[in-house]
Amino acid sequence: MHFSALPTLIMSRIPSQCAVCRSWPSTPVCHACMARFGQPRRRCRTCALELPEQVTTPATQPQRTQCSRCLRQPFGLDACFAALPYAFPWSELVSRYKFDNQTGWASFMASTLLRQPAVRDFLSQLTPQDWLLPLPLSAERLAWRGFNQAWELTRALQRQSACRARADTSLLLRIRHTRPQSELKRSARLDNLRDAFGVAPLRAAELTGRRVVLVDDVMTSGASLLTAASVLRQAGARHVGAVVLTRTAPT
């Protein structure tokens, strides 16, 4: 067994305390906390923002699948799905995963994403010629963090799902180091990412006419995903979507 697989194997098989309520023994997050904090929510199918509750009767229109903002102006992704709000307790667990080198959380996070029927269906539609790509880190940030949390999540999704797409960490590249998006206002985030992504030289033909699904742990404004999607479309991708673990509330 490859050494890198051990954290995921250990976390999935050895009982532990719930990371939220500290009950024992438990899965990484117990069933009670998942029921309390992890219930599926209706979300816009193109930007993954939460939609207001809407009662449907035979006399009314079907429930809408897009938010008013995406209905007025296309968001830039063909589809986007999120499992959880970026709020307690998920924001703390994501930070632990990313900044405390706790890669074993990738397995739990992937299984949480796959609890969403829309995510399972979306990934199952991909063919072996399509792509499942993590949002890349710059070389500087990768060296500082030690791993790409989006890549670990991507690999776990592929292992646990019926997704037949190819997972790759060297097709979409981060070619320019930038300031962390969290330090910037919404209006400055797209400018910060200008020319930050690129497709590996000589590999653009592998994207022509293909579907691509981007994977990340947190979606805030969506600037990173939108910039990467634009680069992939310029290289020939015909459909670019995304799956993210958590989505912030609109500001």
Return per-residue pLDDT of the chain as tens, 251 residues.
444 444 445 555 556 789 999 998 778 999 999 999 999 899 999 999 999 876 554 555 667 899 999 999 999 999 999 999 999 999 999 999 999 988 989 999 999 999 999 999 999 999 999 999 999 999 999 999 999 999 999 999 999 998 999 999 999 999 988 766 666 676 677 677 788 999 999 999 999 999 999 999 999 989 999 999 999 999 999 999 999 999 998 76
Residue 39 CB contacts under 8 Å (≥ 6 apart), including other chains = none
What SS3 string covers 54-77?
A: CCCCCCCCCCCCCCHHHHHCCCCC
Please answer whether residues 219 and 82 qualify as being in contact, where contact means their C-beta atoms are separated by less than 8 angstroms: yes
pLDDT of residue 250: 79
pTM to 2 decimal places? 0.88
- Maximum pairwise Cα distance, the chain: 58
Q: Give the H/E segment covering residue 218.
A: strand 211-219
Supply the DSSP string of 86-138, one letter for each residue. SSTTHHHHHHHHHHTT-TTHHHHHHHHHHTSHHHHHHHHT--TTSEEEEPPPP
pLDDT of residue 228: 97
Report the Cα 21 to chain-centroid distance in Å: 25
Q: For the chain, which domains are there?
A: 40-50+67-247 (3.40.50)
pLDDT of residue 5: 46
Please answer whether residues 173 and 141 qualify as being in contact, where contact means their C-beta atoms are separated by less than 8 angstroms: no
